[in-house]
Amino acid sequence: MKKIIFLLCVFGSLHVCSHELILKIKLNTTIGNFDAVNSKLKGEVKNENGKYTAKQLWVKVEDFKTGLFELRDEHFKNHLKMKDFPKITLTEVEAQNGAGKGTLNIIGKSVPVNFTYTQENPKKLTATFTIKNSSLGLPKAEQAGVVVLDDIEVVANIDL
């Protein structure tokens, strides 16, 4: 199982991000869905009067962990063409009043994304968006008849 996309950390306060990014992967079977987690989201985020901006937020594909076993991690990273495209970025990030936008750059493609965010407490934000794997032109991710569904929910937990 593999397939996925990325990203979103938006927010902070002039800190370098190093937060948790979760990609929620749904499968076409009852054996269970899984999360791909990256705890090394990086980038400088500015907060100016409640408006959050970032030139670039990024993760290394190699830092994603899918849980159960290394083989799934390997399939996931190969599916994202890690050798040719080792980083996933979100650029031109702007957010205010619970909504934001940016440009997701993955496997050599750039796609606009819109996201929402909530402030869980004064020191934590959670941002989310959904992206379709098919919008990136990635091949269908399938292993032994188990297929990754097209919609991937992206959740970023940001400590301020």
Residues 67-90 have pLDDT tens digits of: 877 888 998 898 888 999 999 999
* pLDDT > 90 in the chain, percent: 39
Please give the residue that has the higher pLDDT: either 130 or 72.
130
Query: Is 55 in contact with 16 (CB distance < 8 Å)?
Result: no
- Residue 75 is predicted with a pLDDT of 86
Burial group, residue 97, by CB count within 10 angstroms (0-12, 13-18, 19+): exposed
- With respect to CATH, is domain 15-159 assigned 2.40.128.110? yes
Q: Residue 38: what pLDDT? A: 93
According to the model, what pLDDT value does residue 39 have?
A: 93
Q: Compute the distance between CA of residue 71 and CA of residue 98 in angstroms, rounded to an integer.
A: 38
Specify which residues 87 forms β-bridges with.
Answer: 60
Which DSSP state fits 158?
E
CA–CA–CA angle 133, 40, 84 (5° rounding): 50
Can you give the pLDDT at residue 160?
65
Sequence ranges of the domains in the chain: 15-159
Apex 157 CA angle, 40 and 63, nearest 5: 20
d(CA 130, CA 32): 19
What is the per-residue pLDDT for 117? Answer: 93
User: Average pLDDT of 133-143?
Assistant: 83
Write out pLDDT tens, residues 28-59: 987 778 999 999 988 877 888 889 888 998 89
Number of continuous H segments (helices) and E segments (strands) in the chain: 1, 11
Confidence grade of residue 95 (pLDDT, cut at 50, 70, 90): very high
